[in-house]
Amino acid sequence: MVPNLATGEIAKDIWKSKFYKDKLKTVLSSKMDLNQFVESFPKSYVNTLPVYIPFIIMAELEATVYALYLGSNELYIINEVTTISLPRTLFEIKDGGISRVVSSLNIVKVTASQMSRSQDEADCKAWIRPIWFPPKYESDPDDA
């Protein structure tokens, strides 16, 4: 069972100081979750895992989805996945605003399913070990 590690912040008003404070909280929380998740795997699998933690910041009628992951050299990287803006006027709706929202939500769905799949693969690698076969000897028959 994979733990739910996604985080989010919601703000009623957009103020720069509030936005950066909320972003800082979600990044630090996601960093702690990512560290905890990576530490739960055996050391031999840590470098092979493309593990990332999504987080979302919502302000008024706009939401930005980010992904935090551990890159090479142990650097934390934040990648903006998508921005979802709800249409505010009839013109924006007629101009395809709803379809853009649905498309952005589909990107979020695909990102979440990729994360879930990679975590399942990592979980499987942690529980399944390679099968060891003893070396063949000269006295062994060829069909053994």
Q: Does the residue 2 lie in any domain?
A: no
Q: Does the residue 61 lie in any domain?
A: yes
Q: Does the residue 139 lie in any domain?
A: no
Tell me if 74 sits within 8 A of 34, measured CB to CB: no
The predicted pLDDT at position 8 comes to 60
Helix (H) or strand (E) holding 143: none
Range of 48's domain? 7-127
pLDDT per residue rounded down to tens, the chain (144 residues): 445 555 666 666 667 777 788 888 888 988 988 888 777 766 666 565 567 788 888 877 888 888 888 887 778 989 998 888 889 899 998 999 999 999 988 988 888 888 777 777 767 766 666 666 777 777 777 765
24/21 Cα distance (integer angstroms): 5
Q: What pTM was computed for the model?
A: 0.66
Q: Does the residue 133 lie in any domain?
A: no
Task: Name the domain count of the chain.
Answer: 1
Cα–Cα distances (Å) from 62 to 10, 38, 52, 65, 138, in that order, read 10, 31, 23, 10, 71
The predicted pLDDT at position 95 comes to 93
Q: Does the residue 135 lie in any domain?
A: no
